[in-house]
């Protein structure tokens, strides 16, 4: 790579050479005086990287090599005081090394059932902020917590809800919570109680990396679904989705000052994001190993970024924050979507109501098998929801079939609900009310404490009816926590203006999760949507490419 191909604010300062085979993990010591790297060659190299590097880039050799047993060293972690280094080689062991002398302090033995659930899993190590505990996992579904002083297993973290292999771990700054990434989910563990206290659900594929921001308010996660997600650590709410990478995102890391988030993907790029706007300010091209998640690490104090590319070297980049913060950001669209789910028993009229809300027309609908979707612009609900030119907003109506065979599957799609419309035919009396209670329980179970507004909607009421037990409806609204009750008729349009007004009133657009995506990504989505709306079932890539170019 030449200086001409480097983005503004990036300068290659040194290259670390010393491993004989591919490097898998890199980690800075807490004081920033050393960098450790682990490799397929069974060795751990320690490097002395000066922070005041200047001039042309130089090549640096390791100052010490910790020679482990035969096997890939798939994970390393420094103790908070920098005196010890934990390493996980292939097998059922964790080694604790004294850095100053190279002495092996402990060899921690994991139970075979905890390790290598799948052949492609890598080990994970994370040291608690106070240095007393070391968390380890090696492809299994449980986390071992070790007493570092004695080298004995203190306890394990496991839960039947976590059935997939753990791929990443990270401690909160106060040491009270440990986050672990599995398939599509981030599990949050209480260290004091040794229990699962929450789950962050949203990724479409495996979670490869987790990082807490320096102030501890934000949790970043990267995934094989090519996205980065940002979560509010206190409320466990998804705040933003970052799009831009075109391959699985293997790792994310925050800079020490909290100004930047770096990400490394299998699309052979490193992206640098501003943490105030969450827009890309730099893209660095760097080849990677396609068969192993890649790695990068920010220096704990200086503006240095270590990246792991393809082969046996580590690159150290010096960043100029002043330049990076002045760089014009890449054109991006901020997209916000409000998810409105319609649930209720079969034949209650969900599809007819969704069509009336989205298209303002009525048409008899057959039974929905599975689920259907309608999209409408927010200004169809209220003009106050109109987005700015650089923003996109939409409301997506999810019509979930109410048949017994679909209920279990549909519950998996309720976790990120913005507004839930629970439909019933109130003329059915007690039976209809009991069905509402059941749907409310299913909804609350999947929300897991996350906020969502619930509206109770009476359907098929072409005109006001004395048959409806409104006293029982009132109790139902109170006991189930509905924000209101609305009587509607999709056939005549009765009650629809009031329902639209209620929907508009409860949608907090400013606090809904936003997606930042390149303009090109949005154009591709728009082109595909146009073809879908036109009734095309298949679309050749060449046709899509030509349409976007035009």
Residue 147 burial (CB count, 10 A): 15
Q: Quick one: pLDDT at residue 408?
A: 63
Q: What is the mean pLDDT of residues 267-283?
A: 94
Lowest mean pLDDT, pick from 183-197, 276-290, 334-348, 523-537: 523-537
* Best CA proximity match to 204, nearest among 413, 401, 371, 411: 413
Helices 519-533 and 541-549: angle between axes, nearest 10 degrees? 120
Q: Model's pTM, two decimal places? A: 0.88
- The mean-pLDDT minimum among 80-84, 259-263, 279-283, 444-448 falls in 444-448
Q: Which two tokens stand for residue 180?
A: 């672990």
Fold topology of 333-511: Rossmann fold (3.40.50)
In 90-242, the DSSP E strands lie at 93-98, 103-109, 124-127, 133-137, 143-147, 152-157, 168-171, 177-181, 183-190, 195-212, 218-223, 228-232, 237-242
Q: DSSP labels for 429-455?
A: THHHHHHHHHHHHHHHHHHTT---EEE
Query: Is residue 96 within 8 Å of 151, Cβ to Cβ?
Result: yes
Strand 332-343 and strand 391-400: pairing? parallel
The average pLDDT across 426-437 equals 90
Q: How confident is the model at residue 53, as a pLDDT?
A: 61
The stretch 43-70 carries a mean pLDDT of 77
Q: What is the DSSP letter of 109?
A: E
Domain ranges of the chain: 333-511, 520-549
Task: Give the pLDDT score at 222.
Answer: 97
> Which tokens go with 225?
């679904």
- Residue 486 in tokens: 């609305």
- Tell the burial category of 497 from Cβ atoms under 10 Å away from its Cβ (0-12, 13-18, 19+): exposed
Q: Is the pLDDT of residue 322 over 80?
A: yes
Out of 107-121, 167-181, 362-376, pick the least confident. 107-121
Is the model's pLDDT at 545 over the cut of 50? Answer: yes
High-pLDDT (> 70) share of the chain, %:
91
Instruction: Determine the pLDDT at residue 243.
Output: 96
Percent of residues in the chain assigned helix, strand, coil, to nearest 5: 20, 40, 40
**Helix, coil or strand: residue 404:** helix
Dihedral over Cα of 267, 308, 207, 162: its sign: positive
In which element (H, E) is residue 18 found?
Answer: none
Most confident of 23-37, 385-399, 533-547: 23-37
Q: How far apart are CA 289 and CA 270, in angstroms?
A: 14
Q: What pLDDT is stored for residue 118 in this prediction? A: 42
Q: Which of 87-91, 209-213, 305-309 has the lowest mean pLDDT?
A: 87-91
10 Å Cβ neighbour count for 161? Answer: 11
With cut-offs at 50, 70 and 90, classify the pLDDT of residue 11: very high
Q: Tell me: the pLDDT tens digits for 16-48?
A: 988 888 888 999 999 999 999 988 888 899 999
Report the percentage of the chain scoring pLDDT > 90.
51
User: What pLDDT sits at residue 450?
Assistant: 79
475 pLDDT above the threshold of 50: yes
* Cα diameter, the chain: 86
pLDDT tens across 221-245, in order? 999 999 999 999 888 899 999 999 9
Instruction: Check whether 54 has a pLDDT greater than 80.
Output: no
Confidence bin at 391 (pLDDT 50/70/90)? confident
Is 110 a residue whose pLDDT tops 90? no
- Mean residue pLDDT across the chain: 87
Return the higher-pLDDT residue of 89 and 497.
497
Q: What is the pLDDT of residue 39?
A: 85
When pLDDT is averaged across residues 544-549 and rounded to a whole number, the result is 78
Judged on CB neighbours under 10 Å (0-12, 13-18, 19+), 383 is exposed
pLDDT exceeds cutoff 70 at 148:
yes
How, if at all, do strands 195-212 and 249-254 pair?
Answer: unpaired
CA distance 320 to 299: 13
Distance CA(228)–CA(234), nearest Å, equals 19
In angstroms, rounded to a whole number, what is the distance separating the alpha carbons of residues 175 and 132? Answer: 10
Q: What is the pLDDT of residue 368?
A: 62
Summarize pLDDT for 243-271 with one digit per residue, the tens. 999 999 999 999 999 999 999 999 999 99
CA–CA separation, 337 and 67 (whole Å): 52
pLDDT tens, 128-143? 999 999 999 876 788 9
What's the pLDDT score for residue 116? 46
CA 115 to chain centre: 25
**For the residues 185-204, what does the mean pLDDT come to?**
92
């Amino acid at each position: 790579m030449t200086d001409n191909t480097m983005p503004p604010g990036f300068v290659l300062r040194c290259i670390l050479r010393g491993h004989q085979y591919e490097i898998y993990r890199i980690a800075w010591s807490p004081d920033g005086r050393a960098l450790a790297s682990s490799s397929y060659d069974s060795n751990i190299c320690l490097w002395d990287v000066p922070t005041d590097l200047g001039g042309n880039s130089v090549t640096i050799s390791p100052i010490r090599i910790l020679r482990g047993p035969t096997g890939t060293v798939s994970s390393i972690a420094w103790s908070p005081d920098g005196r010890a280094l934990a390493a996980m080689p292939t097998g059922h062991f964790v080694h604790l090394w004294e850095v100053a002398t190279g002495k092996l302090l402990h060899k921690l033995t994991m139970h075979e059932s905890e390790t290598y659930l799948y052949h492609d899993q890598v080990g994970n190590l994370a040291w608690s902020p106070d240095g007393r505990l070391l968390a380890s996992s090696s492809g299994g579904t449980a986390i071992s917590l070790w007493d570092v002083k004695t080298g004995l297993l203190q306890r394990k973290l496991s839960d039947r809800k976590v059935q997939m292999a753990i791929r990443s771990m990270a401690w909160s700054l106060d040491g009270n919570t440990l986050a672990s990434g599995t398939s599509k989910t981030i599990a949050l563990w209480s260290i004091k109680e040794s229990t699962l206290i929450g789950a962050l659900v949203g990724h479409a594929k495996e979670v490869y990396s987790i990082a807490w921001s320096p102030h501890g308010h934000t949790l970043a996660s990267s995934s094989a679904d090519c996205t980065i997600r940002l979560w509010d650590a206190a409320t466990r709410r998804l705040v933003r989705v970052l799009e831009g990478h075109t391959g699985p995102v293997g790792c994310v890391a925050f800079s020490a000052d909290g100004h930047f988030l770096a990400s490394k993907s299998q699309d052979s790029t490193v992206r640098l994001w501003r943490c105030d706007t969450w827009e890309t300010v730099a893209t660095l091209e760097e080849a990677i190993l396609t068969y192993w998640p890649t790695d990068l690490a920010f220096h704990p104090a200086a503006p240095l970024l270590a990246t792991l590319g393809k082969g046996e070297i580590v690159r150290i980049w010096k960043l100029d924050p002043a330049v990076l913060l002045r760089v014009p950001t890449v054109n991006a669209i901020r997209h916000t979507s409000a998810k409105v789910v319609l649930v209720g028993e079969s034949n209650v009229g969900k599809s007819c109501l969704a069509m009336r809300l989205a298209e303002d027309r009525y048409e008899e609908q057959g039974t929905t098998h599975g689920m259907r979707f309608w999209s409408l612009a927010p200004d169809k609900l209220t003009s106050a929801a109109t987005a700015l030119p650089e923003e996109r907003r939409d409301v997506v109506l999810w019509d979930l079939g109410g048949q017994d065979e679909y209920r279990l599957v549909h519950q998996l799609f309720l976790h990120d609900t913005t507004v839930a419309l629970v439909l019933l035919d109130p003329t059915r009396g007690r039976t209809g009310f009991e069905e509402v209670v059941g749907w409310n329980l299913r909804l609350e179970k999947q929300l897991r404490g996350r906020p969502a507004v619930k509206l109770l909607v009476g359907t098929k009421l072409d005109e006001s009816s004395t048959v409806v037990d409104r006293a029982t409806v009132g109790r139902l609204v109170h006991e189930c926590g509905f924000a209101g009750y609305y009587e509607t008729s999709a056939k005549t349009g009765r009650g629809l203006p009031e329902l639209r007004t209620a929907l508009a009133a409860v949608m907090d657009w400013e606090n809904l999760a936003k997606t930042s995506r390149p303009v090109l990504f949005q154009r591709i989505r728009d082109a595909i949507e146009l073809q879908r709306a036109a009734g095309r079932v298949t679309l050749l890539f060449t046709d899509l490419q030509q349409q976007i170019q035009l």
